[in-house]
Amino acid sequence: MKKINIAIDGHSSCGKSTIAKQLAKYFSYLYIDTGAMYRAVCLYCLQTKIILDGVIDKKRLLSELNQIEVSFQYNSDKNVSETYLNGMNVEQEIRGLWVSENVSKISKIKAVREKMVSIQKAIGQHRGVVMDGRDIGTVVFPDAELKLFITASLKERAHRRHAELQDVSLEDIIKNLEDRDLDDSTRTENPLKQAKDAIIIDNTKLSIDEQFKRILNYCEQAMK
């Protein structure tokens, strides 16, 4: 079977990483969570007060961008690849609310995107990568052999997220998802949009297992 790149895009909390991890494990491919890279840059900005009271000092960010090193290391105990910021494992910290509330300010900056996209392209040059994000099929791997655009209703995505974050109200989660959807799809730099040749998977009514089986078929066709 041919080694391919699999590009997975879609809205926040629609299960992109779940299917990406399943596919990477099944085919022994490398899984790259590109959202984690923008989160790590955001964490750097919060730690160094480049973002202060929700306001970003863009000039400072641009001057320090070459000091921000984001990488991944495979954790064989947990069987996952973890995100590192300047050599420190930040896998837990980047998932917190502090980062989630500020990350879209970072992911819309052109110079940040250019830096992340060039790292992502380099990772994919030998194929065998499953990458998820917002611009993978359109910008990072426009030549990916398989492009998936995952979607689910806002209500379903909010319920799934609520099950994970029980101390946050459903209303707050819906509001946060609506804001992030709007930010992701309306920003000037590489907005979230479906690649022309992407296959749309609406998983509102699909179980994780049903989705996996359906996508496995597409993978096997693309690998022929």
Least distance in angstroms from the C-beta of 21 to ligand DC: 13
Least distance in angstroms from the C-beta of 220 to ligand DC: 26
Q: Please, which residue, 4 or 42, has the CB nearer to ligand DC?
A: 42
Least distance in angstroms from the C-beta of 8 to ligand DC: 10
Q: Which long-range contacts link 87-91 to residues 24+ away (Cβ below 8 Å)?
A: 90/40, 90/43, 91/36
Query: What does the binding site for ligand DC look like in residue numbers (CB under 6 A)?
Result: 12, 34-35, 38-39, 103-104, 107, 133-135, 184
Least distance in angstroms from the C-beta of 167 to ligand DC: 19
Compute the distance between CA of residue 22 and CA of residue 67 in angstroms, rounded to an integer: 33
Find residue 181's DSSP bridge partners.
none
**Which residues have CB under 8 Å from 179's CB, separation 6+?**
104
Least distance in angstroms from the C-beta of 126 to ligand DC: 20
Q: Please, which residue, 91 or 135, has the CB nearer to ligand DC?
A: 135
| Identity of residue 149 | F
Q: Please, which residue, 22 or 107, has the CB nearer to ligand DC?
A: 107
Q: Please, which residue, 134 or 211, has the CB nearer to ligand DC?
A: 134
Q: Are 45 and 102 in contact (CB under 8 A)?
A: yes
Q: Please, which residue, 97 or 213, has the CB nearer to ligand DC?
A: 97
Compute the distance between CA of residue 214 and CA of residue 80 in angstroms, rounded to an integer: 23
Closest CA to 136 of 33, 218, 65, 215: 33
Q: Please, which residue, 48 or 102, has the CB nearer to ligand DC?
A: 102
Q: Write out the DSSP string of 155-178.
A: HHHHHHHHHH-TTS-HHHHHHHHH
Least distance in angstroms from the C-beta of 89 to ligand DC: 17
| 3-state DSSP of 16-68 | HHHHHHHHHHHHCCEEEEHHHHHHHHHHHHHHCCCEECCEECHHHHHHHHHHC
